[in-house]
Amino acid sequence: MKRRNFIQNSAATAAFAGLSGVSLGNPLADAKPSNSAKFKLKYAPGFGMFPELCGKDIIDNIKFCSDQGFRAMFDNGFPGRSVEDQDKIVAELARQNMDMGPFVLYADFKVESMVIKDPATHEMLIKKINEGVAIFKRTGLKYALMVPGRYNEHMAWEYQTANVIDIMRELSDIAAKGGLTIVLEPLNKRDHPGLFLSGVPQAYAICRGVNSPACKIVDDLYHQQITEGNLIPNIDAAWSEIGAFHLGDNPGRKEPGSGEINFINVFKHIYDKGYQGTLCMEHGRSIQGKEGELALIEAYRKADNFAV
- CB within 8 Å of 204: residues ≥ 6 apart: 217, 237, 238, 241
H or E segment at 137?
A: helix 119-139
Q: Which of 149, 159, 239 is nearest to 187 (CA)?
A: 149
Residue 133 is assigned to a structural domain of this protein: yes
Residue 226 is assigned to a structural domain of this protein: yes
Name the pTM for this structure. 0.89
With beta carbons less than 8 A apart as the criterion, state whether 144 and 171 touch.
Answer: no
For the stretch 91-100, what's the b/e string if a residue is b when 16 or more beta carbons lie within 10 angstroms of its beta carbon? ebbeebebbb
Q: Is 39's pLDDT higher than 70?
A: yes
Residue 308 is assigned to a structural domain of this protein: no
pLDDT of res. 9: 41
Residue 212 is assigned to a structural domain of this protein: yes
Exposed/middle/buried for residue 114 (C-beta within 10 Å: 0-12, 13-18, 19+): buried
With beta carbons less than 8 A apart as the criterion, state whether 172 and 243 touch.
Answer: no
With beta carbons less than 8 A apart as the criterion, state whether 269 and 300 touch.
Answer: no
- Write out the residue range of the structural domain in which residue 234 sits: 3-303
pLDDT of res. 35: 61
Q: Is 19's pLDDT higher than 80?
A: no
pLDDT of res. 154: 97
Q: Which of 302, 304, 306, 262 is nearest to 31 (CA)?
A: 302
Instruction: Count structural domains, the chain.
Output: 1
3 Rama sector, left if φ>0, alpha if ψ -120 to 50, beta otherwise: alpha
Residue 244 is assigned to a structural domain of this protein: yes
Chain segment 140-195, per-residue pLDDT in tens? 999 999 999 999 999 999 999 999 999 999 999 999 999 999 999 999 999 999 99
| 3-state secondary structure (DSSP) of residue 279 | strand
The CATH number of whichever domain residue 78 belongs to comes to 3.20.20.150
Chain segment 54-101, per-residue pLDDT in tens? 999 999 999 999 999 999 999 999 999 999 999 999 999 999 999 999
Residue 30 is assigned to a structural domain of this protein: yes
Q: What are 100's strand-pairing partners?
A: 73
